[in-house]
């Protein structure tokens, strides 16, 4: 991690980790999807890795280039807001529809799984089309990192570690909940909660950050 004028500091590293965890622990579009994939046991590693790597890219981008991004792309905010809201409305409707399907498709391990490409595309869309992801990683973490002059990359490394820990614990920890979600009613409730979360995020986006 040490390069140029950047220095490694363990306390800043752990501060970054705690800040990263605190920002992503709340249920959101990404987290709901990772939880669902973990419960279904479908492409869990790939989904967790895609989310964590995406966060890592955005965290480093925020720590190193936040000021330049704001000055260079003033139009990015409305594009992310409305495009992301449209996608979340569609995904919420899809989840709500799934909640009313036959019980056979809602039990863990039942039904035909989604293709790897479709699953990964959905995962990346939920990550990169959600402006709140940019707000948390690029804007908030990027801003906080400025308090640690000379140690920004230690902060970024800590935040990235927190992201990896969270997504893999969420994805693989969900398997412990499988007995509960072997009941179709539990899957219906989860799908309805996911739909509500997606629409709530979309509503907040359209109303402003």
Q: What is the mean pLDDT of residues 16-41?
A: 81
Q: What is the pLDDT, as a whole number, of residue 122?
A: 92
Residue 59 has pLDDT above 70, yes or no: yes
**Angle at CA 109, nearest 5°, toward 105 and 110?**
30
- Tell me the pLDDT of the chain averaged across its residues: 80
Better pLDDT: 83 or 108: 83
- According to the model, what pLDDT value does residue 120 have? 94
Question: Is residue 5 domain-resident?
Answer: no
Residue 2: inside a domain = no
> What is the average per-residue pLDDT within 53-57?
95
Residues constituting the chain: 209
1 is a domain residue: no
pLDDT computed for residue 104 by the predictor: 41
Is 16 contained in some domain?
A: yes
Residue 146 has pLDDT above 70, yes or no: yes
The answer to whether residue 41 is domain-embedded is yes
Using alpha carbons only, give the angle 20, 165, 6 rounded to the nearest 5 degrees: 55
Question: How far, in Å, CA of 61 to CA of 142, rounded?
Answer: 8
Residue 91 forms part of a structural domain: yes
- For 94, the domain range is 10-207
User: What confidence tens digit (pLDDT) does each residue in 148-194 have?
Assistant: 888 889 999 999 999 999 999 999 998 887 777 667 777 778 778 87
What's this model's pTM, rounded to 2 decimal places? 0.70
Contacts of 149 (CB under 8 A, 6+ apart): none
**For residues 75 and 57, what is the distance between their CA atoms, to the nearest angstrom?**
21
């Amino acid at each position: 991690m040490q390069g140029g004028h950047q220095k490694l500091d363990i306390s800043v590293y752990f501060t970054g980790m705690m800040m990263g965890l605190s920002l992503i622990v709340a249920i959101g579009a990404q987290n709901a999807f990772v939880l669902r994939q973990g419960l279904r046991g479908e492409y869990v590693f790939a989904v967790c890795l895609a989310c964590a790597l995406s966060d890592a890219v955005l965290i480093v981008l925020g720590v190193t280039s936040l000021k330049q991004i704001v000055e260079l792309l003033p139009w990015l905010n409305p594009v992310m807001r409305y495009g992301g809201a449209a996608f979340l409305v569609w995904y919420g409707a899809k989840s709500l529809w799934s909640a009313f399907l036959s019980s056979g498709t809602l039990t863990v391990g039942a039904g035909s799984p989604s293709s790897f490409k479709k699953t990964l595309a959905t995962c990346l869309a939920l990550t990169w089309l959600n402006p709140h992801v940019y707000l948390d990683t690029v804007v908030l973490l990027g801003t906080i990192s400025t308090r640690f002059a000379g140690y920004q990359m230690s902060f970024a490394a800590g935040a990235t570690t927190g992201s990896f820990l969270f997504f893999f614990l969420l994805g693989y920890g969900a398997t412990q909940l499988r007995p509960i979600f072997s009941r179709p009613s539990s899957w219906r409730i989860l799908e309805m909660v996911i739909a509500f979360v997606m629409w709530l995020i979309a509503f907040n986006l359209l109303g402003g950050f």
